[in-house]
Amino acid sequence: MLKVKSGESHTLGLLYERYKKRLFGFFFQMSKDASLCEDLVQNVFIRVIKYKHTYTEESNFLSWIFKIARNVYYDHFKGKNKNKTYDIEEQYDVCSFENAENTIEQTERIMLLKKAINQLPEAKKELIILSKIKELKYKELGEIIGCSEGNARIRVHRALHDLKKIYLTLDKR
């Protein structure tokens, strides 16, 4: 990234190759709209170029780029009354094919979990998705969402417990 900052923009291609899937995965889990996600990934890199001067040697690149990704995501939906939720069957088409060999019970459990995740408030859903990215520890997570490491840990714990509660409530119905 320091090379990109110093004017060697062509090296951005390497960063793109390295991070595109993680960014796409983040957006997809948030929005479930693959075509939108591709545009959002593109927007992230447009902002990387635009704001490259804000990157410093001390910055953690992953935190920095996910901070941008988060802003891109929220800016996209800001002020728009876009319906971000889709019919649950439609969203998980891929999932249902992939799980064709699994038992019906397992598939149902996963579907229920997706439903529960969808019912989580946006901020908690985002926390769970981000915390699943391998390299993002509580410290980096705190940097992205703007809180301390300890606070990030508490928020992740709460989000996961809330998810479990919602799931269990749905399961009882």
Q: Which residues bind another protein (CB under 8 A)?
A: 7, 9-10, 12-14, 16-17, 20-21, 24-25, 28-29, 34, 37-38, 41-42, 45-46, 49, 92, 94-95, 98-99, 109-110, 113-114, 117, 128-129, 131-132, 134, 137-138, 153, 156-157, 160, 163-164, 167
The two three-digit tokens of residue 9, written as one number: 């923009």
What is the Cα–Cα distance from 9 to 26, expressed in whole angstroms?
Answer: 24
Q: Which is nearer to another protein, 46 or 54 (CB)?
A: 46
* Residue placing its CB nearer to another protein in the complex, 64 or 138: 138
Q: Are 152 and 123 in contact (CB under 8 A)?
A: no
Report the b/e string of 110-131 with b at 16+ CB within 10 A: bbbbbebbeebeeebbbbbbbb
CB of 74 to another protein, least distance (A): 20
Cα–Cα distance, 31 to 41 (Å, whole number): 13
Which CB atom, from 81 or from 150, has the smaller least distance to another protein? 150
In angstroms, give the least distance from the CB of 170 to another protein: 13
